[in-house]
Amino acid sequence: EMSEMSERSKQNVAHGLAWSYYVGYLKIVLPRLKKSMEEFSRANPNLLACRKTWKLHILIPLSCDVYDDLEKADSNIQYVTDLTENTVARGGIKKRVYKNSLYAIRDEENQLWHCAVEFATPLQSLYAMSQDECAAFSREERLEQAKLFYRTLEEILKGAKECADAYRLIAYEEPEEAETHFLSREIVWHLRQEHHEEIAVLEESHTHTPSTTLDSAELNLQISVSDLPQPLRTDGF
């Protein structure tokens, strides 16, 4: 009876997608990401100077509108290269390839920021379900599922020691009126926070005094517990 109630309310959709995303992908790529970033940094020391940005930046649009080509989503986002591939045997597929792409993000001052970034691909399934009559998935249900996906994934990754400090979830709600460079500004905001975090750590190690900077919980973008999330900042963007 509980299973039927859960299926009728679709409560198990986002929860299952989040776990599948973690077990089938993030648990494989995140523990290896730091090594790939370090290899790239040795060859290109000026592009990834801030170690705090050596993470996979995972975009989570609450609209579930996922672009296959980030460069088409925002012209201030430019593909640079792929990081070192990881090959593992998976589900009968020998030497299955997992890789992440590095991008250059141009800010409003024409400065370039480099990071590994990609969309959370399970959101494509939520979007497709809302477009398919067989799934009977409304836009409101899709929004609730997107928020549940984010919260579930956040909790899973918090408990995954092998993935610690190898990711940053960037959840956001797109503005009603289209903005050409909204996505690049959103990513750059997070990259700046990571730079601030690294500077704070360096200052603390040199001065040996307690840090007065905000902790990561305050700096990270959080989804409101209310029905309407508040992912936007108060920094003027």
Can you give the pLDDT of all 237 residues of the chain as single tens digits? 444 444 455 557 899 999 999 999 999 999 999 999 999 999 988 888 888 999 999 999 999 999 999 999 999 999 999 999 888 888 888 888 999 999 999 999 999 999 999 999 999 999 888 887 766 678 888 899 999 999 999 999 999 999 999 999 999 998 888 788 999 999 999 999 998 887 776 666 655 444 433 344 443 444 444 444 444 444 444
With beta carbons less than 8 A apart as the criterion, state whether 30 and 167 touch: yes
Other beta carbons within 10 angstroms of residue 217's beta carbon come to 7
Q: How far apart are alpha carbons 82 and 80 in whole angstroms?
A: 7
> Burial level of 62, CB count in 10 A (0-12/13-18/19+)?
buried
Among 218, 138, 143, 132, CA closest to 174: 143
Asked whether the whole model's pTM tops 0.85, one would answer no
Tell me the domains of the chain and their CATH numbers.
1-204 (3.40.50.12100)
Q: How far apart are alpha carbons 16 and 73 in whole angstroms?
A: 28
